[in-house]
């Protein structure tokens, strides 16, 4: 999610290419095996779709406000959602506690991993300025935080005492699952900057190169099992639909050209990961087609029990219940009356929470799809996506 917005709220050819590339890369991943993985920890990197409270801890004024969190946590829990995120369902799947944000010093427990994701983060560090500024915690900064985190946990363990039990065991760093969900904000910054869609598209190779460089750096610190999401159908978000009203829509109501840019990013990411498997033969690298899983909710919402898929549950104004001037949990003055921007009546039947992020119900459907292996390359379930020694 874009940072200044947080201050307020907070191709057909591609399909063929992806199919061919899938055939070519599936056999390269050593994760393909029949034995179930038992990940003792998860280390997560990313942006708002996977932020469990990092931004809220760093910039409280920009964190989610009520009614965020009401569905599950019964309070704001640092997540831009009414409840749990995909990363929360991942932790549950392995019987692990929800990941504490690395940036939160209050009550954090890192014994089974840490979350370096923060809302507004980009892969490439963005300079200050522009209509939509990003978070300062780019992927490169998150890597540096992890680089510091690992030896610091050893120091704390060696010292003993009450804090030692809150640190991951040394062997967990090699055995953990390393998850990534980042890239959407790099595209969003371009969309809202003084650039054309063609220029945003042209920037993608540099973004992907930076992405894979950071993956290599994390690999060099001992990571071996990688679960890497591509970017979602950004053209289906009320943020885009409201701000680019003239953009051509597809038959499901999504902004076609913006989804094509997302698909271009995804194709280049998949290609890059295929090469990365050759460079890192001892790594298990799983590419996760989050785009297709999420797009299915807009293509066939009734199949999953959803309605009004393009309309935000928590928002105010316009066709998509989204405004740039006030977001979920905010207050807007209408005819001298202060109007609180609250939740829709039934978040459980809605796809989009606040115009940018998904509801807990949607996150659960997407998690169930991707964790089965139906949307991954290689096509294996989450609980088999580990490095084999």
pLDDT digit string, tens, across residues 161-183: 999 999 999 999 999 999 999 99
pLDDT at res. 335 = 86
- 264, 357, 377, 387: which is the annotated catalytic residue? 357
Burial grade of 255 (CB within 10 A; 0-12, 13-18, 19 or more): buried
Q: What are all long-range contacts of 382-385, with beta carbons under 8 Å and residues at least 24 apart?
A: 382/90, 382/93, 382/227, 383/36, 383/37, 383/93, 383/94, 384/31, 384/32, 384/33, 384/34, 384/35, 384/36, 384/37, 385/31, 385/37, 385/177, 385/225, 385/227, 385/284, 385/286
Average pLDDT over residues 135-157: 97
Is residue 281 scored above 50 in pLDDT? yes
pLDDT (tens digit, 9 = 90+) per residue, 175-224? 999 999 999 999 999 999 989 999 999 999 999 999 999 999 999 999 99
Q: Is 357 one of the catalytic residues?
A: yes
pLDDT at res. 132 = 61
133 pLDDT band, cuts 50/70/90, is low
CATH number of 42-305+359-384: 3.40.50
Is residue 267 scored above 80 in pLDDT? yes
Q: Are 216 and 272 in contact (CB under 8 A)?
A: no
pTM summary value: 0.91
- 354, 371, 377, 387: which is the annotated catalytic residue? 354
376 sits in which H/E element: strand 376-377
pLDDT at res. 7 = 43
pLDDT at res. 28 = 41
pLDDT (tens digit, 9 = 90+) per residue, 25-57? 444 444 444 578 999 999 999 999 999 999 999
pLDDT (tens digit, 9 = 90+) per residue, 3-20? 444 444 433 334 334 443
Q: Rounded to 5 degrees, what are φ and ψ at 82?
A: -80, -10
* Range of lowest pLDDT (124-128, 357-361, 366-370): 124-128
Average pLDDT over residues 258-269: 98
Q: From start to end of 51-192, where are the E strands?
A: 113-115, 177-181
Q: Is 354 one of the catalytic residues?
A: yes
- 48, 135, 138, 264: which is the annotated catalytic residue? 48
Average pLDDT over residues 90-118: 97
Q: Is 279 one of the catalytic residues?
A: no
pLDDT at res. 35 = 75
């Amino acid at each position: 999610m874009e940072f200044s917005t947080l201050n307020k709220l907070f191709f057909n050819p591609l399909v063929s290419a992806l199919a061919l590339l899938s055939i070519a890369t599936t056999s390269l991943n050593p994760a393909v095996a029949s034995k179930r993985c038992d990940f003792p920890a998860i280390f997560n990197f990313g942006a708002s779709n996977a932020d469990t409270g990092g931004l809220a801890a760093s910039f409280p004024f920009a964190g989610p406000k009520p009614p965020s969190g009401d569905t599950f946590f019964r309070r704001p829990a640092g997540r831009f959602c009414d409840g749990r995120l995909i990363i929360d369902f991942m932790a549950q799947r392995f019987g692990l506690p929800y990941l504490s944000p690395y940036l939160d010093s209050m009550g954090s427990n890192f014994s089974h991993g840490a979350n370096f994701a923060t809302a507004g983060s980009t892969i490439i560090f963005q300079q200050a300025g522009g209509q939509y500024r990003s978070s300062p915690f780019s992927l490169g900064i998150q890597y540096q935080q992890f680089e510091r985190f690992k030896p610091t946990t050893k120091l704390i363990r060696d010292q003993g005492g009450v804090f030692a039990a809150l640190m991951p065991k040394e062997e967990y760093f090699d055995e953990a699952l390393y998850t990534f969900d980042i890239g959407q904000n790099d595209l969003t910054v371009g969309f809202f900057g003084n650039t054309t869609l063609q220029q945003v598209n042209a920037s993608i190779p540099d973004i992907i190169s930076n992405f894979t460089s950071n993956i290599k750096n994390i690999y060099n610190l001992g990571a071996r099992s990688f679960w890497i999401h591509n970017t979602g159908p950004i053209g289906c978000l009320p943020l885009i639909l409201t701000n680019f009203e003239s953009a051509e829509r597809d038959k499901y109501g999504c902004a076609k050209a913006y989804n094509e840019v997302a698909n271009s990013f995804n194709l280049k990411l998949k290609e890059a990961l295929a090469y990365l498997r050759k460079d890192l033969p001892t790594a298990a690298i799983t590419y996760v087609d989050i785009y297709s899983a999420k797009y299915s909710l807009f293509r066939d919402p009734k199949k999953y029990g959803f309605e009004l898929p393009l309309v935000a549950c928590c928002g105010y104004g316009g066709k998509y219940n989204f405004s740039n001037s006030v977001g979920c949990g905010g207050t807007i003055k209408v005819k001298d009356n202060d109007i609180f921007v609250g939740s829709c009546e039934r978040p459980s039947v809605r796809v989009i929470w606040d115009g940018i992020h998904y509801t807990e119900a949607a996150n659960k459907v997407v998690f169930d799809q991707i964790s089965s292996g139906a949307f991954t390359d290689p096509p294996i379930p989450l609980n088999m996506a580990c490095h084999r020694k």
